[in-house]
Amino acid sequence: MKYYNVSNPSEKVDFKNVVMQSSNKNNGLYLPEHIPVLDTTFLKNINKHSFAEISFQVAKAILGADMPHSALQKTIDEALNFPIHLKNIHDDNYVLELFHGPTMAFKDVGARFMSGLVSYFIQSETDEINILVATSGDTGSAVAAAFLNKPGIKVTILYPSGRVSYLQEQQLTTMGNNITALEIDGSFDDCQSMVKSAFADIDLSKKLKLTSANSINFARLFPQSFYYFYAYSQIKNNKLPLVFSVPSGNFGNLTAGIIAQKMGLPIWRFVAATNKNNVIPEYLQTQKYNPMPSVATISSAMDVGNPSNFERINALYNHNFSEIKNNITGYAFSDFETCKAIKTALQKHKYLLEPHGAVAYLGISRYLEKHKCCSVFFETAHPAKFSDVLQSALNIDVPVPEELKHYLGKKKRSIKMSADFEQLKEYLLSSN
């Protein structure tokens, strides 16, 4: 299958180029020429399959002949060797726990899958691959863990100083080896802009083989559709319309859901739940897209003022605003409302949310005020990753699981840098 640049549809590349280049020199994002629809028999019997089996069928449909099925199966078996849990909160409302992977965040699904793809395609490469990542929290640690000690690969992570949780920072700054963390004096949007500038820079493209593990890379994004199918497999006998509430920052997670919908998954609607960075909810109300500087919140991984995947969402719905509005409902919530939601869920349902899951819980709660449906909201990280927020704002102590404890005593190693692309360029050229 060929993949087209959403900014210039006449430009088409093969899947290997999508994986290894992420976007073109003009920062165009790629999508497949067509979204394959899964066999109805598979969807009818989806509850008989495991998460890995479902993921293989979805990935095989997307990739076609771009990767041997044996290599794809190996990638999935190695990448998705941890559980996804769907738990009932009340009535027909469920939470999908996506934090049972190695770094205890939903980004493990996409990062580990992409790592397998890169490892497969790099076999025919002679040059070292440089992966650039901008992170607002969990992307950095998931990518670092997924690519740690992979031969022929260097990873450089840009993160906004003071805008990620303590445990997130410990994860992405202490792995060492082929992983380097750059602590940027700025916001996530600054980090993302620097990464995009690197891909557009002619000097860098001549001297380095660059790719990204952010959701601008379709290979990192589309595996997130796997768990939409898995959630459906657990509740397919529920006859109510199916609605997913997705905590949203850069909108990669919701874009993956749209892909699942286009592949035949019977999703009635998406709820795009954001914090005060409400560019998309505002767009859904006004039809005007107004990017703005991001605002710091307690749900820091969603502090994005110019979501990259807005272009993809438009492309997937053929730039038809009515179609977008008929499929996506947007709500934005304050930190005060987020804290209140964490208290409410703990008191009413005995369930501890972290701030991002709390925003998704708020989103579906608002939607359920006027609609009857079967709903699933995403809990994207273990609450312990935000224990500093939960302790200071709510006086809630969260036990740290063993998977995270070993990061606590390690020495942080980061290179401080201003939000200046020329500094990043100089660093990249001098370190290679």
Tens-digit pLDDT profile for residues 203-250: 998 899 888 888 889 999 999 999 999 999 999 999 999 999 999 999
Domain ranges of the chain: 84-106+221-394
Q: At 20, is the pLDDT very low, low, confident or very high (cuts 50, 70, 90)? A: confident
Is residue 104 left, alpha or beta, with left meaning phi > 0 and alpha meaning psi from -120 to 50? left
CA distance 245 to 268: 11
Q: For residues 55 and 45, what is the distance between their CA atoms, to the nearest angstrom?
A: 14
381 secondary structure, DSSP code: B
Cα 225 to the center of its chain, rounded Å: 10
Residue of 249, 134, 131 lying closest to 190 (CA atoms):
134
Which residues, in sequence order, are bridge partners of residue 357? none
In this model, does residue 114 exceed pLDDT 90?
yes
* Euclidean distance between CA atoms 11 and 263, whole angstroms: 23
The per-residue pLDDT for range 54-103, each reduced to its tens digit, is 999 999 999 989 999 999 999 999 999 999 999 999 999 999 999 999 99
Q: In angstroms, how far is the first alpha carbon of the chain from the final one?
A: 33
Beta strands (DSSP E) in 125-266 are: 129-134, 153-160, 179-185, 209-212, 242-247
3 contacts 32 by C-beta, under 8 angstroms: yes
Residues 6 or more apart from 58 whose CB is under 8 A from it?
Answer: 38, 225, 226, 229, 260, 263
Residue 90 DSSP SS3:
strand
Confidence of residue 26 (pLDDT cuts 50, 70, 90): low
Tokens of 171: 């994860």
Q: Predicted confidence band at 27 (pLDDT cuts at 50, 70, 90)?
A: low
pLDDT of 330 over the 70 cut: yes
pLDDT of residue 315: 96
Full-model pTM: 0.93
Domain 84-106+221-394 of CATH type 3.40.50.1100: yes
Q: What are the distances in angstroms from CA 317 to CA 202, 256, 291, 313, 422?
A: 32, 13, 20, 6, 37
